[in-house]
Amino acid sequence: MIRNYSWDMLRAILLILAATLALPAFSAEDTQAGASDMEILRDKVRADKKFIVAENMDLSEEEAKGFWPVYEAYQADLHKLNERMAKVINEYALAYNKGALMDKTARKLIDEAIEIDVDEAKLKKSYVPKLSKVLPGVKVARYLQIENKLRAIVRYELASAIPLVY
C-alpha cells in the first residue's frame, strides 16, 4: 500500500492538476496568467510525484542510481502523451462550447484518444525491459502499480470534470 501521508498529499495535488487541465477548456476565459499558473502547478506535481515514488519504492543506493534516469525518461515520454491528451480535451472543449458535437469531430477525437491509450500501453511495455535492467521484477511491478494508481486518479478527475457529449 502506498504510504498514506504522501499518497493523500499527492492525491490532492493530482486532483487540482486534473481540474486545471479540464475546467479552463470549458470556460470562456483563457488568460496568459492561467497558463503560467498551470505550468507552475505541473512542475509542483512532477516534484511531488517523484517524492511519492521515492517514498514508496524503498530503493537501495545502487538501484536508485539506475532507476531515476529511467524514471525521468519515462516521465518525459509520458509528458508527450499528456500533451496530446490535453490537445484532445481542448479540441473537445472548443467543439462542446460551440454546441452539439459533429459526428466527424467526435470520430476524430475518439480515434485520437484511443491512439493515445494504445501509445501509452506501448510506452509502458517498452520501459519494462529498461526498468528490469536496473530493478528486480518485484520493484518494477511496484513502480508500475504506483504509476497506474497515480494516473487513475488523474483520469478519474478528468472524467468527472469533462461533460458528456450531447
The pLDDT, as a whole number, for residue 19 is 53
Residue type, 65: K
Sign for the CA dihedral angle at 144, 146, 148, 151 comes to negative
Cell digits for 54? 521515492
Three-state DSSP class for 130? helix
Cβ proximity of 146 and 56 under 8 Å: yes
According to the 3-state scheme, what is the secondary structure of 61-129?
A: HHHHHHHHHHHHHHHHHHHHHHHHHHHHHHHHHHHHHHCCCCHHHHHHHHHHHHHHHHHHHHHHHHHHH
Q: What is the pLDDT of residues 19-45, one digit of tens each?
A: 555 545 555 455 455 556 667 766 777
Query: Does pTM top 0.85 for this prediction?
Result: no
Is the pLDDT at 87 greater than 50, yes or no? yes
Cβ proximity of 34 and 24 under 8 Å: yes
The percentage of the chain sitting over the pLDDT mark of 90, rounded to a whole number, equals: 52
Q: What is the pLDDT of residues 101-143, one digit of tens each?
A: 899 999 999 999 999 999 999 999 999 999 999 999 999 999 9
Domain boundaries, the chain: 4-161
